[in-house]
Amino acid sequence: MTSNPLFLAWLTLMSLGIAAVLVTAGGAEFFSPVLFGGLLLLLAWAKARIILSRYLGLWQAPGWLSGFSWVIGLFCVLLLCLYAVAGLSR
């Protein structure tokens, strides 16, 4: 079971979830707002990529996996910009 790619994907997703909890718990005390948002969105992007790759099977189509990863990555950058702009306008 431990060598099953799906199980490893699940395990990685859980680890990323724990990392997100730690970042959230650290919050503004340890990170600047932009770094805080960036870390959370980076973790979300990594989770999305694993779901696309292993759960949805895009590991069989590397070109598509790369395309989806880029688009979702750019979308996360857009979200980070919107999050950061709100911080500047305070």
Partner 1 sequence: MHAPAPKPDAGLLDDLPGELMMWVLIVSELLVFGAGLAAFLSVRISDPAGFAAARAALDPALAGINTVVLITSGFLAARSLDLRLGLKRAAARWHLAGAMLLGAVFLAIKFQEYAAKAAEGISTDTHAFFTFYYLLTGFHAAHVVAGIVLLGLVAWKDAPRNIEAGAAFWHMVDLVWVLLFPVIYVLG
- Rounded to a whole number of angstroms, the minimum distance from the CB of residue 4 to partner 1 is 8
- Rounded to a whole number of angstroms, the minimum distance from the CB of residue 32 to partner 1 is 14
CA distance 54 to 57: 5
CA distance 11 to 37: 24
Contacts with partner 1 by CB under 8 A lie at 6-7, 9-10, 13-14, 17, 20-21, 24, 37, 40-41, 43-44, 47-48, 51-52, 54-58, 60-61, 63-64, 72, 75-76, 78-79, 82-83, 85-87, 89-90
- Rounded to a whole number of angstroms, the minimum distance from the CB of residue 57 to partner 1 is 4
